[in-house]
Amino acid sequence: MFCAECGSPLYSARDDMPEAKRLRLGTLDTPVSPSKRYHAWVSSKAEWFELADELPRFSEFPR
């Protein structure tokens, strides 16, 4: 789906995960207050970046 005014994509989807849609946050004009649930892909994080909370951590995307 694309914006009728500017043509920007509004969300994306993957064929292997049809139940999930990823909203393009840059298309929103209101504040977003996401709730954190976990850290994914921690195996790829920068070595100097510290995770300073107790949320669950997954080396890849949790399924």
CA torsion sign for 8, 12, 15, 21 is negative
CB 42 within 8 A of CB 62: no
d(CA 17, CA 35): 22
Q: Which token pair is 12? A: 């994306």
Cα separation of 51 and 12, whole Å? 28
Three-state DSSP class for residue 9: strand
Question: Can you give the pTM of this predicted structure?
Answer: 0.47
Q: What is the pLDDT of residue 60?
A: 87
pLDDT tens track for 21-38: 888 888 888 888 878 789
